[in-house]
Structure 1
Amino acid sequence: MRLIPLLLLGVATPAFAANPALEPKPASEATIAAQKEIAASLPADDGRDLEFSQRGFIATRSDPIIRAKDGRPVWNVEAYSWMQGDAPATVNPSLWRHMSILRHHGLYKVADNVWQVRGFDISNMTVIKGETGWILIDPLTTRETASAALELVNKELGARPVTGLIYSHSHGDHFGGARGVTSEADIKAGKVAIIAPAHFIEETASENVMAGAAMGRRANYQFGTGLAPGAQGQMGSGIGKGVAGGEITLLTPTDTILKTGEKRTIDGVELEFQMVPETEAPSEMNVYLPAARTFLAAEIATCTLHNILTPRGAKVRDALAWSQYLGEAVNLYAGRSNTIVSSHCWPRFGQKEVESWLSGHRDNYRYLHDQTVRLMNKGYTQTEIAEKLKAPPALANQWFNRGYYGTYSHNSKAVYQRYLGWYDAIPANLNPYPPEERGKRLVAAMGGAKKVLAEAKKAMKAGDYRWSSDLLHQLVFAEPKNAEARALLADSYEQQGYQAESAIWRNQFLTAARDLRQGMTPSIASQSVDMISAIATPLLFDSVATRLNPEIIQDRKLAINFVIPDRQEKAKISVGNSVMITEMNSAHTAPDATVTGPRQLYLAMLFLKMPLAQLEAAGLKIEGDKAAVEALQAALDPMPAAFNIVEP
């Protein structure tokens, strides 16, 4: 997932405007009744999950706050220490149980010479003892949390150097802390091997550039950025507490795994790999430790149903392939494993547990896939399938298959989208009016704002929050300044958040309520220097092309050569028909201009839109028509900022 830092400091929710209508509300009678019904329907809890989560505990930090170098807090391991007793009415009882287990933190022994640091970030860091040092799998999200995790390991188990680093897949919470546990100097000196799956760098760069701005804004909703942990606030993310603040880093892999069955020996430890691309990440692999009889399932099996398409947005994943890779894992590793761990959540112990856990996940993704396709082929639309499709009791009663992160509703739509796209074949949906215009027309057709409000209040009183939010959403888009509609829609979203079993559904509903009450809080997303350095130049130029504004460039034609000596690269930029085309290792014979300089200055010119005079003073050389370069720069939209989601 593209990561937006979330500071879980356990502070109070920010004060709302001095208006009772804009304050958070308690659980309504309808929500209280719904929570009781959910509690009564839950499977029996045999205590295994709690026992597994606490088994092997050694120690945790004495200071719960992890800080950046400047003293700024970036993580609080005890952000959920307030959770005690039964679920309050404002939290789904199933999610409460889940988070009460997931909140534990510290260093845990999971097998001979294998440990995990859990609860120091959204992900886990797995630690393997080599002959001379530590081999680390997935060094968390940020430099600060990874450094704190390694500090705890060295304190409790004895100080050792890091001799190996393994990235299980191409999401930032599985490599972002690399510089917190090792250095470029040690890698260049051959002291540390870094292993990653095929296409790791390309996929890491791709997800964070092309759609990075939109994903980042939507991720604020998914992870509840800005919501304080609490009974009326954030309750984790389903696979962890939240995403740590701090510096996201990246060290380039020194070795790449290409196929299942490949083996490597690092610091005397043999490792075997299973490639699982196009599942939870486009570039992903699992790791087997023969000596420890331990299998790390990365993120294709955790403590919850995952997302086939994340709410923040991503490439749609392949549910069928996901199931098949889990089946392969059962056949290749279940019989050889006494322990199974993953890069999120807690481990499971015992060969039978390993097999049932992997096969249970396998069957859940296969059922989700096959039944969606079955209903799709009967003519049901994605919305109809999402309403109809539920996990069978045999799967739903396995706690690890419940929807704390992904849901059957969202995932069935993703399977439909993978095969058929967004269009449901109903012509009325082929070319509908955009939200604002549609809202105005629907509100008018229903008899105006007062009528819509009256109907919405009736639905609210009946506890039909799905209908009330649908009605009020139309009214807010028709009349964004209608204070009563905004306040009531916030209340409706809030109750749906309280009832949600999925942590990220809860986050989205409660974040929407906050935005409606307080207004959007602009977020400043800082890009990792390491990430920018890792991105291939062609991808950077393709990203620039997506910001070319046709209203500004119009029918202007430009021919510009870029020369980048520090990368030994050159590029031919052609603009025409309001399109920018880049051809690498090529040049115009008669360019309007030729620009020469280090890539860093190109980033400043094309992304930060720094004035050319400043760039020339810094060493950028422009030959030919400087106005052509200025025209290109002027036609580029600024880097995208935050945008509205629940209002126009």
Structure 2
Amino acid sequence: MLSSRTRRSVALTAALSLLALSVHAQPAASKPATATTRAANAAVLEALPFADKQDFEDAQRGLIAQPKELTIRDANGKVVWDLESYKQYIGLDQAAPDTVNPSLWRIAQLNMQHGLFKVTERIYQVRGYDISNITFIEGDSGWIVIDPLLSVETAKAAFALVTEHLGKKPVVAVIYSHSHADHFGGVRGIIDEADVKAGKVRVISPPEFSEHAISENVIAGNAMSRRAVYMYGAMLPRSAQGGVSSGLGQTISAGQVSMIEPTEVVSKTGRELTVDGVKMVFQLTPGSEAPTEMNTYFPQFKALWMAENVTRHMHNIYTLRGAEVRDALQWSKFIQQSQELYGDKVDVEFQSHHWPTWGQARIANLLSKQRDMYKYIHDQTVRLMNEGLNGEEIAETIKLPPELDQAWFNRGYYGTLKHNAKAVYQRYMGWYDANPANLDKLPPEAAAKKYVEYMGGSASLLSKARADFAKGEYRWVAEALKHAVFAEPGNVEAKNLLADTYEQLGYQAESGPWRSVYLQGAFELRNGLPQGPGMKTASADMIRAMQPETLFDYLAVRLNGPKAAGKKISINLDLTDLHKQYVLSLENGVLNYANSMSPQADATLTLKMSSLIAMQMGQGSLKDKIASGEIKLDGRQEAVPELLGLMDNFNFWFNIVTP
């Protein structure tokens, strides 16, 4: 079975393969910023060191080429990446609109700096072609590529830009720094799998890369993908009232996500590899920003690649799309280890998002303050927890010291201090805050009806909410109105006022995901659920790379337990291409499997794993494959359809802001 560690967070995989979503043709108009929001955003300009322009110099340093327009389409003409839509309203010479937190506006301006950049001798990056960066290191005969973006189309376009300006050379190796999809999904845009199989291209990764890259898409992919619509704001209009930046980058691309499995695994910290004349020393950082991840030091160039363990903002200890909580303490220790290993012999630090840092003193400052930020969040959350505060109280209490808080690279553009502190609390204490009233709370809809009743009915609640909205008490208004909406989902006045409230909270948010969450919530309250097929939770390459055990775990979570109660079915699987045999056993409303066949099974399926995968991808039914002879079924013929009939098909567009 997949371990809980295997199912850990894969930061962007819940947002894989964004499909063309048809939204309402004429969605309800956004509202302007209120006086309260304008004042809150103006205060940010006074609170932070906006006169410091070093990041703007660094983000533009080394620019070699920049396309006049950056719109990337797939083979069918569908736009999969469109920086032009942001250029209409985000520019270096434009002040933050009053509907955008000025600090978030600043990171958006920086993330708009795109094109081909020279990092240092023989190291280049293409930035702004996806949510992540793609890095090209010049070997003796070709390119070593680190992290080939999320989509095939964006990686291909980035490679074309490099070829145009630096000459035509083959890719001789690809390095996956970690298991998040925006760091491997575009690989087929730069290499051919046939060349990998022929030994012409090396694909290098940290341990258990494929397992981690695949697992979360299968087990919890539907729920995470639905929530990712909120987190990444990919559906929000491109305007000062809509999507501005995710903080990590502008947004996610919407092309084909691919994967080619690694040919080499880095098994320990300190492992050295020389690829095409380039020496690399690896540092494994499992359980930090990703369940499997590694940094790389290039001694010839005195360059340190920090993967996604160091970025130009506060990262997520917990991601809003849903995931297991990351280990902030371990994360800080890995950054400390990087300093100890390489700190006195590095001239440039670069990573998979944002821009590099040059100079040993500035690199030391970046690493030490990022290290201390994560450790401070951990240590002070645990301190306050041990003093008796719960997660929500800690989030309201904790403050970074000025020396950490005023560093631009520690600002909460992606993660936030509040939700990261709650995450540390959750990691140690779980969901229960020890208050007996919260041990067995009513579910939202039932509680909402009682709240509205206690508040004197919806008319009274709305009257009070309007008055508090006028006073700018948006957090409380949201708390009160969510009950009105859940108690009376047809109450348009309550939904519209709650939408207005979420909108103002979004306009004030410094975090890109917080802004997206609030604005997507406002959109759905005003317009209803989006239309269309939703998001894919796994790419074809990922499905093809699944091991049988992963597929069986997925079938188990699709099993409708109440419908399966009282039923007992067992099916043997003889996977002839893998030379593996299993038995699936349904009993007690649970689907288990064992690594051998049972002579008492109701039926036996003899087939190839590729046939199972094809059916998972919708390429033919069981009935058709049996009729064609591709699959052989012995025993009770009805057993397999009966088992499959107990499986749920998940609805992507489930409600979030309404019951």
Aligned twin of 1:592: 602
Provide the secondary structure at the position in 2 that maps to 1:277: coil
Per-residue deviation at 1:292? Answer: 1.0
- Number of aligned residue pairs: give it: 642
Aligned to 2:4: none
**What CA distance in whole angstroms lies between the structure 2 residues aligned with 1:365 and 1:308?**
9
SS of corresponding position for 1:51: helix
After TM superposition, the score normalised by the length of structure 2 is 0.95
CA distance, structure 2, for counterparts of residue 610 and residue 558 of structure 1: 24
Residue 494 of structure 1: aligned partner: 503
Deviates more, 1:197-206 or 1:160-169: 197-206
Cα separation, 2, equivalents of 1:393 and 1:407? 16
Tell me, in whole angstroms, the C-alpha distance in 1 between the residues paired with 2:446 and 2:46: 43
The residue number in structure 1 matching 2:62 is 56
Aligned residue number for residue 172 of structure 2: 163
303 and 553 in structure 1: CA distance in 2 versus 1, 3 angstrom threshold: same
Matched, 1:558 2:544: no
The aligned residue for residue 439 of structure 2 is 430
Q: In the aligned structure 1, how far is the partner of 2:44 from the partner of 2:505?
A: 14
Residue in structure 2 matched with residue 30 of structure 1 by the alignment: 36
Segment of structure 1 superposing worse, 211-220 or 56-65: 56-65
Return the alpha-carbon distance in structure 2 between the equivalents of residues 89 and 99 of structure 1: 15
The alignment status of 1:643 with 2:654, answered yes or no, reads: yes
Mean alpha-carbon deviation: is it higher for 521-530 or for 229-238?
521-530
Selected match of 1:623 from 634, 645, 654:
634
Which residue of structure 2 lines up, in the alignment, with residue 383 of structure 1? Answer: 392
Partner in structure 2 of residue 614 of structure 1: 624
Q: Which residue of structure 1 aligns with residue 90 of structure 2?
A: 83
CA separation of 1:192 and 1:513: change in aligned 2, threshold 3 A: same
Q: Assess if the C-alpha contact under 8 Å between 2:72 and 2:79 holds in 1.
A: yes
Equivalent AA in structure 1 for residue 85 of structure 2: A
Higher RCO structure, 1 or 2 (CA under 8 Å, sep 6+)? 2
Q: Which amino acid aligns with 2:657?
A: V
The counterpart of 1:543, out of the listed 536, 545, 554, is 554
Q: What's the TM-score once normalised by structure 1's chain length?
A: 0.96
Distance apart, 1:455 and its partner CA: 1.4
Aligned to 2:355: 346
Closer, same or farther: CA 64–606 of 1 in aligned 2, 3 Å: closer
Q: Counterpart amino acid of 2:601?
A: P
Runs of 4+ aligned structure 1 residues displaced above 3 Å come to: 5-9, 11-17, 603-612
Distance 1:288 1:14, change over 3 A: farther
Q: Secondary structure at the match of 2:51?
A: coil
Secondary structure of 1:567 counterpart: coil
Q: Deviations over 1:474-516 (max 9, x none)?
A: 1111111100001000000000000000011000000000011
Cα deviation, 1:273-304, whole Å, max 9, x if unaligned, reads 11111111000001111111111111111110
Structure 1, residues 412-457: CA drift from partner, whole Å, max 9, x if none? 0110111111110001000000000010111111111101111111
User: Residue 475 of structure 1 aligns with which residue?
Assistant: 484
CA contact (8 A) 2:581 2:597 kept: yes
Decide whether aligned partners of structure 1 residues 331 and 612 sit closer, same or farther in structure 2, where only a CA change above 3 A counts.
closer
1-side partners of 2:614 and 2:639: how far apart? 17
Identity %: 46
- 1:602 corresponds, among 612, 632, 650, to 612
**Alignment-derived partner of residue 238 in structure 1:** 247
Cα offsets for 1:190-234 (capped at 9, x unmatched)? 111111001111111112111111111111100012112220010
* Letter in structure 1 aligned against 2:649: P
What amino acid does structure 2 have at the position aligned with 1:516?
L
The answer on whether the counterparts of 2:37 and 2:98 sit within 8 Å (CA) in structure 1 is yes
Q: Deviations over 1:92-119 (max 9, x none)?
A: 0111111111111100001000000000
Selected match of 2:74 from 58, 68, 76: 68
Matched position secondary structure for 1:80: helix
Give the match's secondary structure for 2:100.
Answer: coil
Aligned equivalent of 2:461: 452
- CA displacement at 1:8 relative to structure 2: 13
Correspondences of 1:232-631 after superposition (within 5 Å): 232-522=241-531, 523-526=533-536, 527-584=538-595, 586-603=596-613, 612-618=622-628, 619-631=630-642
Moved more, 102-111 or 57-66: 57-66
Residue deviations 1:100-143 (CA, integer Å, cap 9, x gap): 11111100001000000000000001110000000000000011
Q: Distance in 1 between matches of 2:43 and 2:68?
A: 40
RMSD: 1.9
CA distance in 2, matches of 1:287, 1:249: 24
Q: Deviations over 1:540-592 (max 9, x none)?
A: 101100111123222111111011112222211111101110112x0111211
How far apart, CA to CA, are the structure 2 residues paired with 1:513 and 1:77? 24
The residue number in structure 2 matching 1:214 is: 223
Amino acid at match of 2:136: V
CA contact (8 A) 2:233 2:517 kept: yes
1:6–1:226 Cα contact (<8 Å) kept: no
Letter in 1 for 2:357: R
- Once residues 13 and 547 of structure 1 are traced to their aligned partners in structure 2, the CA distance between those partners, rounded to angstroms, is 28
Q: Return the alpha-carbon distance in structure 1 between the equivalents of residues 19 and 651 of structure 2.
A: 26
- SS of corresponding position for 2:481: helix
Which residue is 2:192 aligned to?
183
| SS of structure 2 residue aligned to 1:153 | helix
Distance in 1, matches of 2:246 and 2:32, equals 22
**Residues 50-100 of structure 1, C-alpha deviations (whole Å, 9 max, x = no match):** 000000001123442111111211112333223242111000011111111
Task: State the alpha-carbon separation in 1 of the partners of residues 512 and 18 from structure 2.
Answer: 16
CA distance in 2, matches of 1:592, 1:208: 31
- Kept in 1: contact 2:543–2:617 (CA 8 A): no
Gaps of 5+ in 1: none
How far is the alpha carbon of 1:616 from its aligned partner? Answer: 1.5
In 1, Cα distance between equivalents of 2:98 and 2:602: 67
Take 2:651 and 2:223, find their aligned partners in 1: how far apart are those partners? 8
CA distance in 1, matches of 2:271, 2:237: 44
> How many angstroms does 1:16 deviate by?
3.9
1:97 to 97, 101, 106: 106
> Which segments of 5 or more consecutive residues in structure 2 lack a partner in the other structure?
1-10
Conserved? CA contact 1:294–1:339, under 8 Å? yes
* Residue in structure 1 matched with residue 48 of structure 2 by the alignment: 42
The residue that corresponds to 2:7 in the other structure is none
Aligned residue type for 1:383:
E
Q: In structure 2, the residue corresponding to 1:545 is in which secondary structure?
A: helix
Closer/same/farther in 2, CA of residues 12 and 615 from structure 1, 3 Å limit: closer
Whether contact under 8 Å (1:8, 1:228) holds in the other structure is: no
The structure-2 alpha-carbon separation of the partners of 1:135 and 1:215, relative to structure 1 and needing over 3 Å to count, comes to: same
